[in-house]
Structure 1
Amino acid sequence: MFAAIWDKSDGPAWQARHGLTSAQYQQTFDELTTQGYRPVDVSGYSVGGRATYAAIFERRSAPEFAAFHGLSNARYQAEFDRLTRAGFKPVHIAGYAVGRQDRYAAIFEKSGSQGWAARHNIDAATFQREFDRWTGQGYRLVAVSGYNVNGQDRYAAIWEKRASPPWQARHGLTSGQYQQQFNELASQGYRVVQVNGWRAGNEPHFAAIWEKVDGPAWQARHQMLGDGYQEEFDRLLKEGYRLRDVSGYHMYD
């Protein structure tokens, strides 16, 4: 299933893919990066016990970046340590489970201009404490990913200390709770800018970030089966929308 956000705006050339195996994603990554594209959003999820990916690429050059997928907790931490020592910071993180193991896909950019903090493989209570800690120091949440490992919800997240419009974030929501929050915040002028779905037991859970900003027309959907997502993608593309965020999650064995 998929959750996604589109807006009707100009921007660099872009490409999007979904339902890719690890090898297919790597091939797509290699082909598109040689054409000047770079990943700006990647979602990992498990289908039939196999890692599967959805991603958005944009054709833009700066800043220098590094991207990884399919990393274990230990390997992700090693890459995180290596890259941050070299002046990179994480700008996108996706946690997901394959079997009983957590895996990570991430994008780093070389930029030391802003304060930031990042955490991964933390439970809901720890995520809430970290959220309160960093927002209390003037940071805002810029990326959040929920996933379930061995029956327990886990989170990965990135905060940055920068000027920001009013924003809201929620996590651990059922589909009904997410829709209620979506409706309430939309009525207050907020638009969802990131949504992440994952399977928890036999139901989906969601985490999302909203911003109170004026902007172009936008659309958001969740709980779309693969065929429905493709139909919405094709329809909105013809109407001039571009995909801004996509999250894949597996709900049915």
Structure 2
Amino acid sequence: MALLKLLFTWALFAVMALAANPWVARHRLTSDQYQSTMNDLVAQGYKPTYVSGYTISNSPRFAAIWQKPSGWVPAWVARHGMTSDEYQAAFNTYTSQGYRPILVNGYTVSGQDRYVAIWDKSTSGAWVARHRMTASEYQSQFNTYLAQGYRLKHVSGYAIGTEARYAALWEKTPNDSSAWSARHGLTSAQYQQEFNTMTAQGYRPTVVSGYGVNGVDYYAAIWEKKSGPAWVARHGMTSDQYQTQFNTITGQGYYPTVVSGYTLGSTDYYAALWSK
């Protein structure tokens, strides 16, 4: 009887905690686990806000964040496990229906690039999306759209074979004139140095993407110079380290905004951002 009471109390606490929590985060999910979690949370009113794909022993895994909006939510769709052609077909279908991409992350399974993406019908300025870009193609596109007044809103680094590739989203934001900066192809040490430089100048990270190429971890990131709540950033974490940091940081009143999973050899690593 005591054991049953304890189990009931724990279950009740878990349900109350979930109901009171406007966000949920998971990592290391298989494709089936990710879809099952997505179905359960969407049924409870949650919406995916960030998803990254990666592999463990060449098996696709997913790290994701869901939030429970308090107000009106625009129509949205999310897809994962897409090949490049499947992603392009979905992209064409949804954009023709008035959706726009708000997230696209690339990852590699058995040497083939795959994509996870979210689209919604939120309002925005003009936007541009590109994927499967080499480093030089990405830099060229970056320069072109920057000159046309676009702002980089999202970037994902991944690998095809031994070559880094990038997926990115740009948007024209006439009501946002705050300074911003973006970097890619940074080693862990270079990323940390750039991170220190940017934060010392009053910038805050809004996107970080970790990716492995030829056994080396690289990082692409976006910083913005604007006011906002307190934030925390970590990278190069193993699964256990990420879970420890997650528990500590969320215990201090922060919630996750970005989680990027990536693989070096047979080990999965994580880069993440939290905000109060």
Residue 28 of structure 2: aligned partner: 19
Pairing 1:31–2:40 present = yes
Specify the SS of the correspondent of 2:63.
strand
The one-letter code sitting in structure 2 at the alignment partner of 1:49 is N
Using the TM superposition, give the Cα deviation of residue 111 of structure 1 relative to its aligned residue in structure 2, in angstroms.
3.4
Kept in 2, the 8 Å contact 1:18–1:55? The answer is yes
Match of 1:121 in 2: 132
- Give secondary structure in 1 for the equivalent of 2:202: coil
| Distance in 2 separating the partners of 1:59 and 1:158 | 24
Which of 135, 150, 173 lines up with 2:146 in the alignment? 135
Corresponding residue of 1:204: 217
Match for residue 189 of structure 2?
A: 176
Higher relative contact order, chain-length normalized (CA < 8 Å, sep 6+): 1
8 Å contact 1:73–1:102 — kept in the other structure? yes
Task: Name the residue aligned to 1:53.
Answer: 62
CA distance in 2, matches of 1:139, 1:59: 30
Checking the alignment, whether the CA contact within 8 Å between 1:192 and 1:210 is kept in structure 2 is yes
Do residues 146 (structure 1) and 157 (structure 2) align?
Answer: yes
Asked whether 1:111 is paired with 2:111, we answer no
Judging by fraction of residues, say which structure has more helix: 2
Secondary structure of 1:132 counterpart: helix
1:44 maps to amino acid:
G
Q: Quick one: distance in 1 between partners of 2:265 and 2:219? A: 16
Residue in 1 aligned with 2:232? 219
Q: What's 1:3 paired with?
A: none
SS of equivalent to 1:213: coil
Q: Encode CA deviations 1:110-165: one digit per residue, 9 max, x unaligned.
A: 13542000000110101011101111111100010000111110000000000332
- Partner residue of 2:255? 242
Deviations 1:145-197 (A, max 9, x none): 00011111000000000033211000011001100100000110001111000
Give the alignment's TM-score, normalised by structure 1: 0.94
Q: Is residue 252 of structure 1 aligned with residue 261 of structure 2? A: no
Q: Would you say the 8 A contact 1:42–1:55 is kept in 2?
A: yes
Give aligned-pair identity as a percent: 47
Q: Residue in 2 aligned with 1:80?
A: 91
- Corresponding position: 1:230 with 2:243: yes
Q: Deviation digits for residues 93-123 of structure 1, max 9, x if unmatched?
A: 1001111100000000113542000000110
Aligned to 2:110: 99
Residue type at the aligned position of 1:223: G
Unpaired stretches in structure 1, ≥5 consecutive residues:
1-11
1:62 aligns with 2:73: yes
Structure 1 contact 96–147 (Cα < 8 Å) conserved: yes
Considering only aligned residues, what root-mean-square deviation do their CA atoms show, in Å? 1.0
**1:252, CA displacement in angstroms?**
2.6
Contact 1:88 1:112 in 2 (8 A): no
3-state SS, counterpart of residue 116 of structure 2 = strand
Local SS of the residue matching 1:26: helix
Q: Secondary structure of the residue that 1:250 maps to in structure 2?
A: strand
Q: Which moved more, 1:57-66 or 1:191-200?
A: 57-66
Query: Per-residue deviation at 1:216?
Result: 1.6
User: Which blocks of at least 5 consecutive residues in structure 2 are unaligned?
Assistant: 1-20, 267-276
Question: What is the one-letter code of the residue matched to 1:137?
Answer: Q
> Are 1:44 and 2:53 matched, yes or no?
yes
Cα separation, 2, equivalents of 1:31 and 1:102: 28
1:160 maps to what in 2?
A: 171
